[in-house]
Amino acid sequence: MSLIKGGLLDRRGFLKTTVAAGVAASLPGASFAQSTPKRGGDLRVAKGHGQTTDTLDPGQWENGYMLALGFGIHGRLTEVATDGSLVPELAESWEASEDASEWRFKIRQGVTFHDGKPVTVEDVVASINHHRGEDSTSAAGPIVAPITDVKAEGEDTVVFTLDGGNADFPFILSDYHLVVCPATEDGIDWQSGNGCGSYVLKNFNAGVSSQFERNPNHWRDDVAWFDTVEMLCVVDQNARTTALVSGDVQAIDRVDLKAANLLGRNPGVTIESVAGTQHYTFAMSTNTDPYTDNNIRQALKWGINREEMVEKILFGYGTVGNDHPIGEGQRFYNSELEQKTYDPDKAKFHLKEAGMDSIDINLSASDAAFGGAVDAAILYQASAKEAGININVVREPKDGYWSDVWMKKPFTAVYWGGRPVEDQMFATAYQCGAAWNDSFWCNDRFEELLVKARAELDEDKRREMYYEMQDLVANQGGVVIPMFANYVFAVGEKVAHGEMASNWEMDGERWMERWWMA
C-alpha cells in the first residue's frame, strides 16, 4: 500500500479550479467580508432552490437547498477545501494500493451523531451501501458503482475494493450525497435527520423552511459560528432580493444578474461573484424523436447564440460553453476542441442531413432551472428561427419543475453545479443508464473511455482520453451547453467570511459552518 498525501490528491496544482482554485471576488468597490470568526448570532438565508417534494434521503438530493442542508447536518469522509484541495473530514487519512484499486480509510474516532451515538465504521459501510446495488434509486449510484466491496476492518478502518484503479476515488467520497448516517438493521436512518455535522436539524418543512442549532458536541471547534440558522425556500427572485434589502434575511443566492449592480449599491449589501464549474444547459432526450438523430442535435447546437446568452442572461458573469461540462480551470479541459459559434448555415446543413428544411419543437423552461431560464429559452427561440428551427417555449411552473418536468419532458432547461473531477461529472450525468443522465445518451466509445480513463495513472494518456470524451459529448451528445455561469450571490453587512470555495454555490454550500457574524 502507498500512502497518498500531496501530489496525487492535492488539487492546488491540478484543479486550479474551479477556475482558479477557489477564487472568490466581490464586485468592484466591494471588499472581502473578512474579520476574526466569533460565535453567536442568528442567520437567516433565502435560497432560490427547494420544492415540496424534497426529502431527507441523501440519494435524492438534487438542488442547492438540500445541498446546504446536507452539508450543515451531516459529515462525509472527505471534504473539498476552499482552495480546491481535498482534506480529511470523517476520515483521518487514507492510503491506496499501487494500482489504486483498493483504498483504506482510517475513520476519525470520538465523533458522535446528534443523538450521542458514536460514529462507527459500520455506519460508514451502511451509508455507502445505501447508494449501491441494482435496486438503488440514488443519484450517486453511478459514482459508487465501481465499488465491488466495502467492509469494516477493526474499529477504525474501512476498506473499499474497486473494479479497477481510480486515482480520484477520495474525491468521489466528498460527493454531497455520500453522507454518513446511523446504521440500522436494514440500511440507514436518514428519515430522522440525525447526523454528525456541525448543526442539528430542528425542523424541516420541505419547500418552505428549515431550522438549525449549533451542535455543541461537534468534533471541530473551527466551524459553526452561528447559534442558529434558518434557511428559507424562496424561489421567486424578487422576493429573495426584497428580503435581503429589508433585512429579513442576511444572505441570498442566485442574484438577479440584470439588477446585480443596482442591488450592490444598497448600503450594507455586497455582491459576490465566484467563477466555477456551474453551467446552464438545454437537455434533449436522445431516446425520443426527433432527438434520436444526431443531425438534429447538432443543428440545435449551431443554432444557439452563446455570446448573446452570456451578455443578456449572465450580464458578463460567466463564459461561453462548448456543449461539454468540463470547465476551463479543470485539469483535463480540452482547449483544442473547436468552439461552436452561432452559425445558422451550419444548423441548416444538419437539418438537411436529417432530411428536413424546418422543424417544430417544444422547449420547457422555468426560472426554477436557473435565473433567466425562460428569457434564455426565448433568446434561443429567436436565434434558432434563422435556421428553420421553430422553438415553442413552454413556461413551466417553478414548484415541481425537477420532479415533473426535468427528465420527463424531452427538451428542458437545466443547471448543473459541475463536479471537482472529470470522472465524477461524466459518471453522474453522461454515463449510460445513470440516474441523472438527463439526455438519456448512450455511446459505446464514451463508456469504454470512461472506464479506461478512471484507471489510467499516466497523466498524458489520461488527458488524451478525457479530450476525446469531451469531443464525443460535444459533437454526438444530447446536451446544449451554451454558458458557464459564475456563482453570484449577496450578503448583508452583518455576515463575514474568509476565502470562499468555488466547487458549489455560496462557499461550496458550506456557508452554514464557514461564515460568521461580523
Main-chain phi, psi angles of 249, to 5 degrees: -130, 160
Percentage of residues in the chain with pLDDT exceeding 70?
93
Q: Are 435 and 59 in contact (CB under 8 A)?
A: no
Run of H or E including 451: helix 444-455
- Which residue matches cell numbers 492510503? 95
pLDDT in tens, 97-144: 999 999 999 999 999 999 999 999 999 999 999 999 888 899 999 889
- Which residue matches cell numbers 455560496? 506
In the chain the first and final C-alpha atoms are separated, in Å, by: 46
Q: What are 121's three cell numbers?
A: 465504521
Residue type at position 205: N
pLDDT of residue 34: 56
pLDDT in tens, 164-182: 999 889 999 999 999 999 9
Mapped onto helix, strand or coil, the DSSP state of residue 485 is strand
Q: What are 361's three cell numbers?
A: 419543437
CA–CA gap between residue 432 and residue 441 (Å, rounded): 6
Cβ-based burial of 400 (10 A; exposed 0-12, middle 13-18, buried ≥19): middle
Cβ-based burial of 297 (10 A; exposed 0-12, middle 13-18, buried ≥19): buried
- Which residue matches cell numbers 438493521? 185
pLDDT of residue 295: 98
pTM: 0.78
pLDDT of residue 19: 30
The residues, any chain, with a CB within 8 Å of residue 18's CB and separated by 6 or more, are: 84, 275, 276, 277, 327, 329, 330, 418, 420, 502, 503
pLDDT in tens, 275-322: 889 999 999 999 999 999 999 999 999 999 999 999 999 999 999 999
pLDDT of residue 135: 86
Q: Please, which pLDDT band fits residue 29 given cuts at 50, 70 and 90?
A: very low
Q: Are 514 and 199 in contact (CB under 8 A)?
A: no
Q: Measuring CA to CA, which residue among 471, 400, 361, 455 is closest to residue 101?
A: 455
CB atoms within 10 A of CB 475: 17
Q: Are 173 and 78 in contact (CB under 8 A)?
A: yes
Q: What are 200's three cell numbers?
A: 442539528
Residue 15 vs residue 375, higher pLDDT: 375
pLDDT of residue 437: 97
Q: Are 270 and 33 in contact (CB under 8 A)?
A: yes
